[in-house]
Each structure stands twice: as structure tokens, then as C-alpha cells.
Amino acid sequence: MKNQQNPSRAVFATRIGAIATTVGSAVGLGNIWRFPYEAGIHGGGAFLLLYIAFIIILGIPVLSAEFALGKITHKGVSGAFRTLRPGTPWRHFGIIAVICGIMILSFYSVVAGWTLEYTYEAAVGSLSDNEMSLHTAFDDFTSGWRPIMWTLLFLALNYTVISRGVQKGIERFSNILTPILFLLIIAFCINSLMLPGAEEGLKFLFSPDFSKITPQVVIGALGQAFFSLSLGMGTMLTYASYFNERTQVARNATITAALDTLIAIMAGVLIFPAVFTFSIEPAEGPRLVFEVLPVVFSKLPGGDIWGVLFFFMLFLASLTSTISMCEIIVAWLIEERKMRRSQASILTIAIAMLLGILCALSFSILPGIRLPFIGEPNVFRWFDYTSSNILLPLGGLLISVFTGWILDRRIVAHALTDRNSRRAHLACRLIIFSLRWVAPPMIAIIFILNL
Ligand code: TRP
């Protein structure tokens, strides 16, 4: 997405194109890897309920706000704030976005690296006939040097895409991939529902135990809602700068949120029946999906082929997500630091590689350093926690205040919808209401509760 300043920048040709691309950014490891692991740590049903509530009351409004800002200005993060409120501190919003983006990029690339390893293992047939238990196999893998190799390889791949500015092609590609991933997940869900532990797994996921709700669970669900929708650091804002005049922002936001949430819930339906069937601990953390999926595949006819397909799709879905993160950082370096695209790309990827190595080593030799916010001494978890649960909601809070309070209400309303129906007016009113009176205080209260 180059040429932020160009007023005649490309626009999505079709309505479906605009939705498919935003869904493509939203759908990734966040749905299939992070959602089950967070739900597992935070007790299942209660977490799911809070997550859905946050998607509806905060996610859709903040997503609409990002869309509106991008659609009004046709600019990326820093350009959008600078155009709307020139010379004010709002232009520094980009700094949060860049710090947060680099943190997410670092740990996300480690997990994307795991998907590469598992694709490879499935392809050579060592995923299903492994004498070790999957728990030990994961430990064995993450304590070696291979995770580092895959992380670096994955980031190098990102580099080749962003340094050439050819992400448009990749995005088009992702429009075909997301539906295929969707179909694969449906097939695996059906398979999971026939497992003996299906009832217990579904009970874990869908029956909320309210006694399990703690401030940690609340902030976990809030962070997951933001992470999964790629919210809070201007990714969606940048995509929306390619919307055309007639794009219905409120409707797009609702459809994107609904599809993204559906895929996360389906990932839960895929994972938890297997967790209970094969006696895996639901609160395993980041490794959960990588221990569960190989067992699921090994029990299927032609197991390894399913493994290759699924992990490869997951890898591609991760790539489309990380490219959107890289692009935020690279665009900021080009606009604010006046770098060339090639320099900005090298710098971004080099920092992500360094931090990515630290994240990869968190599962093996990195000594326990005490870090704020989380109990465990684990750099990977710290990056994950701080970016998703603190920086993204903080970004969301700022975006809500800006769109709800600073901008002229009529401009926002016009960007949200140009329809004159009662439904459109109601949607508009609800979104603006949330941006003013719900999102900012709610996020602030959740932060305060956590301190
Ligand atoms: N939403 C993506 C996922 O679920 C990850 C992602 C892409 C993201 N861009 C982002 C998360 C920007 C936060 C911010 O995998």
C-alpha cells in the first residue's frame, strides 16, 4: 500500500473485495491459535461470553471508527490524524501503533514459524508417527534451534513482500485462501463433534461459570477482541483508506466482526472436544493448539495430508496478517522519518528478527527475568500480553475519543453510512454513542481494575 499521499489511490473494485480484505487481515493466528489458548487459560465459557460482549459493544464501534477515519482521509495512520487535526499531539498516535506493531510482529512470527515446522513435519510424515507424547515433542522442538530458524525465515519472507510493495497481490491471494481455510475448519469441526469428549469440550466452551470471572479474565477477553479484529493500531484504518465513497462502513464492520468471531468460535469447537478426548490440559497456554491438532489429524484417514493442508493454510493466513502489521510500521518510517521503502523494510524486519529470537528463546534457555504485568517470567508472553491487552485497547480508547468527541459528529455519521433508512440511522447513533459514552470509560475502568 504505497503512495499514501496520492489522492487518486486505488480503491477496492467490489463490495465483496472490501469485505474480503478486511476479513483476511482479521482472520489469522488470533482466531485459530490465540483464541483457544486464551479461552483455555481463562476457563472457557465465561471468557467466550465476555469476548462476544466486547466484540459487540466495543469491537464493532471501534472498527467502524477506524474505517471511518480511513475512508474520510484516504490516508494511513499518521496521515489520517495529521489531516484531521494538524499540528496537535494526535499525530503521535503512530508511535503507539509502531511500538505495538513491532511487538506483535515479533511473537506472532514465532508462532507462524511453528506452523512452518508443523507443515514440514506433516509433509515428511513425522507428525503422526512420533513415539514421543505431543507435549514432549513440542518441548523437544522449542528447546532446539529450529524455532529460531523458522522465525527468521518467516520474517525474511515478509521482507521480500514488503520491500517490493507487492502486498496487493498477496491480499488478493488471501481472498481465495480465507474461504478455503473456512471450509477446512468446518470439516474438522464436524470431525471433532464426533469425538467421545465432544460433550465435555462443548460444555467447557459454551457454559459460562461466572465464578471464574476475574479482572484478568476481563482484560484477557478485551485484548482478544482487539487482537482478533486487528484493532487499535490503525491496520483497519489503513485498509479503509481504500474504501470507495459508497462503502457502507457500519455494515462492513458488522460483517467483518461477525465472520471473525464465527471463525474463532469454530476453532474452539474444533479444539476443545479434542482437548477433553485426549486428556490435554485446557490451560496449556500458547502451545495448546500445537499439541491438540496433530492428534486430531493423526486419527483421520490420510492424517498427514490434513496436517500439511491445515498448517500450510494457517501459515498463509499468518503471512497476510503480518504483512498488514509490517506495512503500518514501514509506512510510518517512510512518512515520519523520511526513510526509503527499502531502508524502512530492512529496519522493521531487523528489529523484529532480534525481538523474535528473544521470543523464540522464551520457550527454552532464556533465563527467567521478572517482567511487569504478568506472573510468568516469559518474554514471549510479556510481548503478547502487553501489546494485545494494554496497547491495543489503549489505541482503541484514543481512536474512540478522537472519533466520538473530537471530530464533527456529522462528518463521522456521513462516513458511517450514506443511507437514509431507519436502520442505518439507528446503527449510526449506536456506534457514535458507544464511541462517546461506552468505549472510553469502559476501557479505562478495565485498566484501572487491573492495576
Ligand atoms: N487479527 C489478526 C489475527 O487474528 C492479527 C493482526 C493483524 C493484528 N494485524 C493486526 C492484530 C493489527 C493486532 C493489530 O491473527
What DSSP string runs through 142-196? HTSSHHHHHHHHHHHHHHHHHHHT-HHHHHHHHHHHHHHHHHHHHHHHHHHHTST
Q: Which residue would you say has higher pLDDT here, 240 or 168?
A: 240
Q: Determine the distance separating the centroid of ligand 1 and the alpha carbon of 227, expressed in angstroms.
A: 5
Residue 320 has pLDDT above 90, yes or no: no
Residue 5 has pLDDT above 50, yes or no: no
Segment 365-385 shows an average pLDDT of 72
Segment 186-203 shows an average pLDDT of 96
Q: Which residue would you say has higher pLDDT here, 311 or 168?
A: 311
Q: Write down the pLDDT at residue 69.
A: 97
User: How does DSSP classify residue 369?
Assistant: -
Q: Write down the pLDDT at residue 83.
A: 93
Q: Count Cβ atoms below 10 Å from residue 176 Cβ, excluding itself.
A: 10
Q: Count Cβ atoms below 10 Å from residue 89 Cβ, excluding itself.
A: 8
Q: Determine the distance separating the centroid of ligand 1 and the alpha carbon of 229, expressed in angstroms.
A: 6
Q: Which residue would you say has higher pLDDT here, 4 or 288?
A: 288
CA separation for the pair 170, 50 (Å, rounded): 34
Task: Report which of 243, 200, 233 is spatially closest to residue 418, judged by C-alpha positions.
Answer: 243
Contact 389, 449 (CB under 8 A): no
Q: Count Cβ atoms below 10 Å from residue 32 Cβ, excluding itself.
A: 26
Task: Report which of 324, 371, 264 is spatially closest to residue 100, judged by C-alpha positions.
Answer: 324
Q: Write down the pLDDT at residue 259.
A: 95
CA separation for the pair 45, 54 (Å, rounded): 14
Residue 2 has pLDDT above 50, yes or no: no
Residue 367 has pLDDT above 70, yes or no: no
- 99's CB contacts (< 8 A; 6+ apart) are 391
Residue 431 has pLDDT above 50, yes or no: yes
Q: Ligand 1: which residues within 6 Å by Cβ?
A: 25-26, 28-31, 104, 227-228, 230, 233, 235, 321, 324-325, 392
Residue 13 has pLDDT above 80, yes or no: no
Share of the chain above pLDDT 90, in %: 68
Segment 79-97 shows an average pLDDT of 93
Atom of ligand 1 nearest to the CA of 325: 9
Question: Closest Cα to atom 7, ligand 1: which residue?
Answer: 321
Segment 346-357 shows an average pLDDT of 97
Residue 168 has pLDDT above 80, yes or no: no
Atom of ligand 1 nearest to the CA of 318: 15
* Residue whose CB lies within 8 A of the most ligand 1 atoms, among 1, 23, 25, for a mutation test: 25
Q: Write down the pLDDT at residue 370.
A: 58
CA separation for the pair 447, 433 (Å, rounded): 21
Residue 6 has pLDDT above 80, yes or no: no
* Model confidence band, residue 1 (pLDDT cutoffs 50, 70, 90): very low
Atom of ligand 1 nearest to the CA of 30: 4
Q: Write down the pLDDT at residue 417.
A: 87
Segment 417-433 shows an average pLDDT of 91
Contact 236, 25 (CB under 8 A): yes
**Mean pLDDT score across all residues of the chain:** 89
Q: Determine the distance separating the centroid of ligand 1 and the alpha carbon of 193, expressed in angstroms.
A: 28
* Model confidence band, residue 11 (pLDDT cutoffs 50, 70, 90): low
Kindly report the length of the chain: 451
User: How does DSSP classify residue 335?
Assistant: H
Residue 166 has pLDDT above 80, yes or no: no
Question: Closest Cα to atom 12, ligand 1: which residue?
Answer: 230
Atom of ligand 1 nearest to the CA of 100: 14
- 361's CB contacts (< 8 A; 6+ apart) are 148, 379
Segment 354-362 shows an average pLDDT of 93
Atom of ligand 1 nearest to the CA of 226: 13
Burial 421-444 (b: 16+ CB within 10 A, else e): eeebeebbebbbebbbebbbebbe
Residue 203 parent element (H or E): helix 198-206
Residue 92 has pLDDT above 70, yes or no: yes
Q: Determine the distance separating the centroid of ligand 1 and the alpha carbon of 223, expressed in angstroms.
A: 11
Q: Determine the distance separating the centroid of ligand 1 and the alpha carbon of 29, expressed in angstroms.
A: 8
CA separation for the pair 159, 84 (Å, rounded): 32
Contact 29, 112 (CB under 8 A): yes
Least confident of 78-82, 166-170, 236-240: 166-170
User: Grid coordinates representing 422?
Assistant: 431507519
Contact 294, 134 (CB under 8 A): yes
Q: Determine the distance separating the centroid of ligand 1 and the alpha carbon of 393, expressed in angstroms.
A: 13
Share of the chain above pLDDT 70, in %: 91
Atom of ligand 1 nearest to the CA of 31: 4
